[in-house]
């Protein structure tokens, strides 16, 4: 079995390499856009206006309370009825399917990261806000210059961990025909009639990606800690 898995990884490397690039690119884009959405949701949830806070809370609860695969299909089917995605292929990826996947993953990531950002901001002592106000800063100035620089120590590593999670969660996009790692696995399994070895190859690739990502995040955390110390 080990020899067969190794041979498959070598012989069909172009398929898996293409799928790996799509998986990594989609994961990075989803986490970056998700972080931007999460920041907006976090500030909305902390808003003094109850309607704004409630909207953010409901969104977060709905997204966190439903499976990602369901969200993916709802986004794809619903948006297909409302707008026409560009019928173009970039880098071998069909944008009509890639963009709905990116939107669904961004929406999902944003709901989880929003709580991370809110928790990071609220972890800063209230005395810091009071001190900033006593210096004449308004709410947004104190948030930008005093609170966020301290909260970022908690927020950034957690967002890095979200990337590790997202890499694994992108496995579901195969159902929309996106040429990710699992789609490549399906293709190779169809060609070779070797189903189990193809799953081993996919597992190895996901494992390597997450090991590299985790190590990179740890290095980043140490550098971030030194910068603040």
Rounded Cα–Cα distance for residues 33 and 178 (Å) = 19
Average pLDDT over residues 181-200: 91
Average pLDDT over residues 54-78: 93
pLDDT digits (tens, 9 = 90+) for 83-132: 777 676 766 677 778 888 999 999 999 999 998 888 887 777 766 666 66
**What is the DSSP track for 42-73?**
HHHHT-SSHHHHHHHHHHHHHHHTS-HHHHHH
Rounded Cα–Cα distance for residues 70 and 121 (Å) = 31
Rounded Cα–Cα distance for residues 229 and 226 (Å) = 5
Residues 6+ apart with CB under 8 A from 151: 117, 120, 121, 123, 124
Would you kindly state where each structural domain of the chain is located, as residue ranges? 2-228
Residue with tokens 């012989």: 11
CA 102, 103, 109, 110 torsion: positive or negative? positive
pLDDT at residue 48, as a whole number = 83
Can you name the CATH fold of 2-228?
MetI-like fold (1.10.3720)
């Amino acid at each position: 079995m080990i020899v067969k898995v190794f041979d498959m990884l070598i012989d069909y490397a172009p398929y898996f390499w293409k799928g790996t690039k799509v998986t990594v690119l989609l994961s990075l884009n989803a986490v970056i856009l998700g972080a931007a959405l999460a920041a907006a949701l976090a500030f909305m949830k902390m808003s003094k206006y109850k309607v704004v806070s409630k909207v953010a809370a409901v969104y977060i609860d709905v997204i966190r309370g439903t499976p990602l695969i369901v969200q993916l299909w709802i986004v794809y089917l619903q948006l297909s009825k409302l707008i026409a995605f560009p019928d173009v292929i970039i880098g071998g990826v069909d944008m009509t399917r890639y963009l709905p996947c990116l939107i669904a993953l961004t929406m999902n990531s944003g709901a989880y990261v929003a709580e991370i950002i809110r928790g990071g901001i609220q972890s800063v002592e209230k005395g810091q806000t009071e001190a900033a106000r006593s210096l004449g800063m308004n709410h947004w100035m104190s948030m930008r210059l005093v609170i966020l620089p301290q909260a970022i120590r908690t927020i950034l590593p957690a967002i890095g961990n979200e990337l590790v999670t997202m890499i694994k969660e992108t496995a579901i996009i195969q159902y929309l025909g996106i040429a990710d790692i699992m789609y490549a696995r399906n293709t190779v399994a169809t060609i070779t009639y070797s189903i189990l070895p193809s799953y081993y190859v996919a597992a190895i690739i996901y494992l390597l990606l997450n090991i590299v990502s985790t190590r990179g995040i740890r290095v980043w955390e140490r550098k971030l800690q030194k910068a603040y110390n």
